[in-house]
């Protein structure tokens, strides 16, 4: 049976052949698996890719149960509603931003290259937490191998530039070009591929308090090809930092759902965070594996026409819905 491989698959295979590092080979193989058409004619190819993937992960200690994934300082375990990784040139204020927004103890210094390893912290947004990751500086031409894994593993990228630095537009353009070249940033991303569409990248123009010109933001947006959403902030004065939380929440594309037991008030303290588009069944599965099968009645307060309306298991939930499962 013919394999009928697609353009996307060939592009991933090409990236695999060109890959210079372990991380690039791994990412390309994952993409080959995601893009290979799934039918009888490609069974052998699929099996071969899976075999190579599992061998690579085993060799690097990333297989399940080895525990070494946790030990790699670049691979920060995700917590909260999503992980936002801050990336930017030396001295832009990444550590100061993470310090201003979370309880993390980051090193803020008036000299460059102060941060040597990623540091996570939790940022409060309304009733949930979003994880921020401070990182070592980005340097033109590249980052160390596992740094790329850290970038790919996050849910959102916040590129940090220094508005008081006259090279900030060039630095931003260069970072975006680097991400495109590494195929981390692209127009379309298939499920299972660790890469970002442009909406998953934000720019924080930091040191807004020192920005020389109020029109600087517009100038950068015009100068930088494909400039993502750019927000002027200041880690020092706290200016606009609340807008960053709201923007990150929106771009993570998640919803908060509260649960209640029959006859009891809802638990508004600890929402479940689910991808946008999740159904009542998805919610049940995330509470308990079996619940998705055993639940019979689901009632929703919020997005339904009536309060406490009984809905089907495939009902698509909205942010702030309250759900009673029984």
Ligand X SMILES: Nc1nc2c(ncn2[C@@H]2O[C@H](COP(=O)(O)OP(=O)(O)OP(=O)(O)O)[C@@H](O)[C@H]2O)c(=O)[nH]1
- Residue numbers at the binding site for Mg ion (CB under 5 A): 94-95, 114-115
Nearest-angstrom CA–CA distance, 266 and 270 = 10
Nearest-angstrom CA–CA distance, 199 and 251 = 7
Nearest-angstrom CA–CA distance, 209 and 214 = 10
Interacting residue with ligand X among 207, 251, 256, 299 (CB under 6 A): 207
State the nearest-atom distance from the C-beta of 244 to Mg ion, in Å. Answer: 17
Q: Is 108 one of the binding residues for ligand X (CB under 6 A)?
A: yes
3-class DSSP assignment, residue 14: helix
Closest by CA position to 132, among listed 83, 80, 196: 83
- Residue 109's binding partner among Mg ion, ligand X, none (Cβ under 5 to 8 angstroms by kind) is ligand X
Shorter beta-carbon distance to ligand X: residue 89 or 271: 89
Q: Is 114 one of the binding residues for ligand X (CB under 6 A)?
A: yes
Q: Is 102 one of the binding residues for ligand X (CB under 6 A)?
A: no
Left (φ > 0), alpha (ψ -120 to 50) or beta: where does 140 sit?
A: beta
Structure token pair of residue 25: 């080979």
φ and ψ at residue 64, rounded to 5 degrees:
-65, 145
- Residue 78's binding partner among ligand X, Mg ion, none (Cβ under 5 to 8 angstroms by kind) is none
Nearest-angstrom CA–CA distance, 53 and 57 = 6
Give the per-residue SS3 of 68-114: HHHHCCCCCCCCECCEEEEECCCCCCHHHHHHHHCCCCCCCCCCCCC
Shorter beta-carbon distance to Mg ion: residue 42 or 95: 95
3-class DSSP assignment, residue 158: strand
Q: Is 91 one of the binding residues for ligand X (CB under 6 A)?
A: yes
Q: Are 185 and 198 in contact (CB under 8 A)?
A: yes
Q: Is 168 one of the binding residues for ligand X (CB under 6 A)?
A: no
Interacting residue with ligand X among 80, 93, 121, 271 (CB under 6 A): 93
The one segment of 119-127, 217-225, 230-238, 247-255 that binds ligand X by CB under 6 A: 230-238
The one segment of 231-239, 241-249, 289-297, 302-310 that binds ligand X by CB under 6 A: 231-239
Shorter beta-carbon distance to ligand X: residue 37 or 90: 90
Shorter beta-carbon distance to ligand X: residue 25 or 207: 207
Specify the long-range contacts of residues 166-174, CB closer than 8 Å, at least 24 apart. 168/205, 168/220, 169/219, 169/220, 169/223, 169/224, 171/88, 171/89, 171/140, 172/203, 172/220, 172/224, 172/227, 173/223, 173/224, 173/225, 174/140
Shorter beta-carbon distance to Mg ion: residue 83 or 95: 95
Would you give the binding string for ligand X spanning residues 30-69, x where CB under 6 A is met?
----------------------------------------
Interacting residue with ligand X among 42, 83, 115, 259 (CB under 6 A): 115
Would you give the binding string for ligand X spanning residues 277-316, x where CB under 6 A is met?
----------------------------------------
Shorter beta-carbon distance to Mg ion: residue 42 or 115: 115
Q: Is 95 one of the binding residues for ligand X (CB under 6 A)?
A: yes
Q: Is 143 one of the binding residues for ligand X (CB under 6 A)?
A: no
Q: Supply the DSSP symbol for 38.
A: -
3-class DSSP assignment, residue 183: coil
Residues lying near ligand X in the complex (CB under 6 A): 88, 90-96, 108-110, 112-115, 137, 206-207, 209-210, 234-236
């Amino acid at each position: 049976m013919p394999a009928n491989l697609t353009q996307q698959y060939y592009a991933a295979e090409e990236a695999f052949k060109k890959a210079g590092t372990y991380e690039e080979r791994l990412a390309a193989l994952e993409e080959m698996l995601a893009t290979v058409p799934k039918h009888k004619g490609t069974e052998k190819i699929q099996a071969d890719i899976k075999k190579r993937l599992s061998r690579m992960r085993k060799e690097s200690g990333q297989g399940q149960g080895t525990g070494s994934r946790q030990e790699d300082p670049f691979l920060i375990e995700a917590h909260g509603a999503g992980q936002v990784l801050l990336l930017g040139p030396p001295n832009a204020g990444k550590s100061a931003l993470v310090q201003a927004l979370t309880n993390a103890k980051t090193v803020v210094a008036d000299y460059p290259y102060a941060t040597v390893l990623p540091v996570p912290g939790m940022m409060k947004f309304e009733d949930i937490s979003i994880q921020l990751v401070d990182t070592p500086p980005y340097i033109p031409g590249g980052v160390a191998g596992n740094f790329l894994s850290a970038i790919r593993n996050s849910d959102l990228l916040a590129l940090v530039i220094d508005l008081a630095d006259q090279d900030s537009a060039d630095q931003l353009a260069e970072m975006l070009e680097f991400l495109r070249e590494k195929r981390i940033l692209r127009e379309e991303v298939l499920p299972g591929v660790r890469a970002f569409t442009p909406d998953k990248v934000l720019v924080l123009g930091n040191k807004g308090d020192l920005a020389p010109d109020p029109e600087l933001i517009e100038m950068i947006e015009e100068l930088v090809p494909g400039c993502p959403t750019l927000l002027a902030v200041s880690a020092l004065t706290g200016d606009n930092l609340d807008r960053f939380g709201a923007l990150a929440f929106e771009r993570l594309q998640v919803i908060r759902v509260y649960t209640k037991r029959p006859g009891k008030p809802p638990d508004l303290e600890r929402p479940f965070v689910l991808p946008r588009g999740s159904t009542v069944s998805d919610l049940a599965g995330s509470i308990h594996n079996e619940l998705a099968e055993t639940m019979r009645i689901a009632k929703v307060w919020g997005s339904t026409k009536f309060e406490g309306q009984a809905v089907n298991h495939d009902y698509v939930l909205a942010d702030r819905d309250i759900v009673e499962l029984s």
